[in-house]
Homo-oligomer: A and B are copies of this chain.
Amino acid sequence: MKFNQFAVTLPAQDQQILELQKIKIYPTDLAQYSLAQLVAHVYRHFFPDYRSPEALTDRYQRLLIDPETDLATYLTQIDQSVDQQAFYNVGLQLLGFLTPRDFRLNDPLTAMTSMGLPFVAASELDFTAFTTAVYQLLVTRSQNGLLMIDNLANRGYYQVNFSVSERQRHLIFNGKVQATFDVSELIREIVYVESDQDTDHDGQRDLLQATIIRPRVKDSFTKLPALYTANPYFLGTNGAPMNPVDQPLTVKASGDARENPDQFDQFDHFAPDPVTGQTDDPFARAETTISSSGDNTVVLSDFFLARGFASVYAAGIGTRGSDGIRTCGSPEETLSTIAIIEWLHGDRRAFTDRSKQQEITAAWCNGQVAMTGKSYLGTLAIAAATTGVAGLATVISEAAISSWYDYYREHGLVIAPETFQGEDADVLTDECFSRMKDAGDYRRVKPFYQQKLAEMRQDQDRETGSYNHFWDLRNYRNQMAQVKCPVVSVHGLNDWNVKPKNVFKLNQDLHALGKTHKVILHQGPHIYLNNFPSLDFYDLINLWLTNKLLAVANNADQLFPDYLIQSNRQADRWEQPTAWTAATTQRFQLNQDFTGAPSPASFRDDGSQAFQASGLSGLGWEQAFMNQDPRFAANQIVLKSAKLQQEMLLTGRPELHLRVKSSADHGLISAMLVDFGQSHRLTPRPQIVAFDARQLGYQGPLETTMEFAPDAVSKVKLIAKSHINLQNRHSSAINEPLSSDEYVDVNMALQPTYYHLPAGHQLGLIIYATDMGMTLRGQNDLVYTLDLTQSTLTLATPSAKPAHI
């Protein structure tokens, strides 16, 4: 396992000394110390949890500096230098590595090299080299993936060596804020932020409940930045029923769907703002209520609590304890999301309870906010960024939607997120409308809510799947020019819930506008990647937030790679390309460069009954379909390249041009780009490396580390897919007529990828129509015919065109 590390720098020697003194690993009166005394001082500080000299000696005796000698003995022998091998043997043991399992005492450096751990090259460490070695060791990643300095903090280093007031200030080491704050006694409070909106039309401005969890700080000069997560699921979900999906495709009337006169902005009218009186005591005490929502936090926020960042959670309009109704992706939802930031930044009022008698300010906050979260949570972070709201310093957005059309629709078709067949904006709205859980509250809002939900069902238009005004309002990319804060995106290259197109297009748009966008792509599906030992994710985010929220000049913009992409061939290889595309493209003729079907090639789309009979899930069907299960073989055309003679890297969006005809005046085409070839691919999900391996702060919660591992041999893997309605050949908004049995040309941009196709494998293309896991799946019984001589696949790849393709 390689412990990759991107968020680390090695400053000049004098700076190293200053920083080591600041964290008290080096004494302030350094000049009084011989090297031997200094070494003893340093090691003593490496064991904050051994308080008596005798206990410390016993501990030293358990560490070997070579196969025969323990550290206690060695410390009595140091004179002018420290032996390099002795230093790193002890260092590796301190980092949690075991001998002989992880390294050999007579050659620690070989293991360090293979694990990617840095070391000082000199064989004898004098004061200068020792200083660098100590500095570097403290910011080296340990066996549990945390830095040594983090593990020291978790063992009580700051509790032992720092005063209470020193622990309430943001301490910076190596450009990153350290875990000095006490998390054993946190303040938990709930406030009600007053919105300008009245989305439930009750004549009152919506009050929005926010939960704040923060370290108790008595030093009034210390102000905390906030990590804010807008989480519509925070106060529970309703188990809303799905829409029916066993319905056939139908013919659409031609025209621009955005111009449909029936479409209107669902929330275009608001009640006038009522006047709210000021109270006599505008700065009431904060702790009016205690969170009953427990520790329903995200782990990234836990990591930063001990680093002096407040965690702020809000579920938003229409959730339990708040006013308003859910609107799923609408501008009203975005405004309610940023209301919390406006309060944190001092630009909006909040109250201690819903009676609005006591105003409360976020006096503890430094006004700098970052938004975090995955999926819907990360989506709302993107939404907030597009407003340019003051106080939002950055967003760390994971697996986020950048346009809701790209979540529930594609190219004129209804397309479900993986495993959520039948979900749509109405379902998610109803799922998150947790006001329903308070019977007395729901009673008041039910008629208005049900009316609006019915309107949404109409407006989202599952009949045509076209891009209309409803979806245009929910396309955050329309507002990219307003983004003021730098954005970090994390996304799984195998995320078929929120598909990678969402982050790809966001990246294109932000870069086109010259804005900062850092992108981390992993090999997982719709998951967090915090706990991968192969990547120093926490440190990267720490570097980033220390720069953006605490204004520390730490070179974060340069150190944080523009792209960090996990290899599909080796989980601990993180590549840093300069772009998520390639300067060169290669075009393949489907009738020449691929084999498997004659041209013209036909297939019948009548697999719905076989699918129903199979009892397979959508995912099970997809696996069977890619493995050319005979039950579905008539519903597909499978094309394969020759075996590759050398590895080929596919990056960006593969583009498919097809000349196709349908046996009717409507139709759809789906395509999968796949990797055919027997090999041990990575597991689809990360596997547990070590249970409860590491702590997030002194006496903080525990985290299990996970990583992808080589899986059992498989024959095929999905690289990318796409779907298109043949009536939307040029635009998802423009519905065009289709004539039966008449060829049309369609261009399909597949989902983006970054894929190393190994030598010996074959590039595959599966052309089909109904996708049981994603499209509507009623019986269509149409025949499609492809003119392969007029069909091509274009790939962005830096690889030379393989000889056999």
Contacts and interface: CB of A to CB of B under 8 A. Distances in A.
Interface of A: 48-52, 54-55, 57-58, 60-64, 67, 70-71, 93, 98-99, 105, 154-156, 159, 184-186, 188, 287-292, 294-296, 352-355, 357-358, 437-441, 443, 692, 695, 699, 701-702
B292 A155 contact: yes
A156 B699 contact: no
A57 B57 CA distance: 62
Contacts of A156: 290
Contacts of A71: 440
Given A49-B290, A184-B185, A289-B50, A353 B55 contact: yes
Contacts of A357: 52, 54
Contact of A294 (B58, B296, B352, B702): B702
A70 B438 CA distance: 11
Given A52-B353, A52-B355, A55-B354, 19 more contacts: A49-B290, A49-B291, A49-B292, A50-B289, A50-B353, A52-B357, A55-B288, A55-B355, A58-B354, A60-B440, A61-B441, A62-B440, A62-B441, A98-B439, A184-B184, A188-B699, A295-B692, A295-B695, A295-B699
A74 to B, nearest CB: 11
Contact of A692 (B60, B67, B294, B439): B294
A352 B438 CA distance: 54
Nearest to A615: B712
Contacts of A188: 699
A295 B64 CA distance: 28
Contact of A443 (B64, B154, B295): B64
8 closest cross-chain pairs (CB), A and B: A54-B355, A55-B353, A62-B438, A49-B290, A62-B440, A70-B440, A64-B439, A58-B354
B58 A355 contact: yes
B105 A439 contact: yes
A352 B52 contact: yes
B61 A440 contact: yes
A63 B357 CA distance: 22
The complex is assembled from copies of this chain, and their number is 2
A299 to B, nearest CB: 13
Contacts of A50: 289, 353
Nearest to A289: B49
Contact of A290 (B52, B155, B355, B443): B155
A679 B63 CA distance: 59
A63 B440 CA distance: 5
Nearest to A353: B55
B353 A54 contact: yes
A232 B464 CA distance: 63
A186 B52 contact: no
A301 to B, nearest CB: 15
Contacts of A352: 52, 55
Contacts of A438: 62-63
A695 to B, nearest CB: 5
A102 to B, nearest CB: 11
A49 B437 CA distance: 18
A439 B62 contact: yes
Contacts of A49: 289-292
A62 B357 CA distance: 19
25 contacts: A49-B291, A50-B289, A52-B352, A52-B355, A54-B353, A54-B354, A55-B288, A55-B353, A55-B354, A55-B355, A58-B354, A62-B439, A64-B440, A64-B443, A70-B440, A98-B437, A105-B439, A155-B292, A159-B290, A184-B184, A188-B699, A294-B695, A295-B692, A295-B701, A296-B692
B702 A58 contact: no
Contacts of A440: 60-64, 70-71
Given A354-B58, A692-B294, A51 B439 contact: no
A520 B437 CA distance: 36
Q: Name which of A70, A294, A441 has the most chain B CB atoms within 10 A of its CB.
A: A294
A292 B702 CA distance: 12
Nearest to A56: B353
Contacts of A57: 355
Given A70-B440, A184-B185, A692-B296, A289 B51 contact: yes
A55 B287 CA distance: 12
Nearest to A188: B699
A104 to B, nearest CB: 11
Contacts of A58: 353-355
Q: Name which of A48, A98, A357 has the most chain B CB atoms within 10 A of its CB.
A: A98
A93 B188 CA distance: 24
Q: Name which of A71, A353, A355 has the most chain B CB atoms within 10 A of its CB.
A: A353
Contacts of A699: 186, 188, 295
A439 B93 contact: yes
Contacts of A294: 154, 692, 695, 702
A288 to B, nearest CB: 5
Nearest to A50: B289
A580 to B, nearest CB: 34
B441 A55 contact: no
A355 B60 CA distance: 13
B63 A439 contact: yes
A151 B50 CA distance: 38
Contacts of A358: 52
A355 B57 CA distance: 9
Contacts of A296: 692, 702
A752 to B, nearest CB: 32
Q: Name which of A155, A291, A440 has the most chain B CB atoms within 10 A of its CB.
A: A440
A434 to B, nearest CB: 10
Nearest to A70: B440
A52 B692 contact: no
Given A184-B184, A184-B185, A295-B702, A55 B289 contact: yes
A566 B647 CA distance: 57
Contacts of A105: 439
A51 B99 contact: no
A277 to B, nearest CB: 14
Contacts of A354: 54-55, 58
A358 B699 CA distance: 26
Contacts of A154: 294
Contacts of A437: 98
A93 B55 CA distance: 55
A61 B357 CA distance: 17
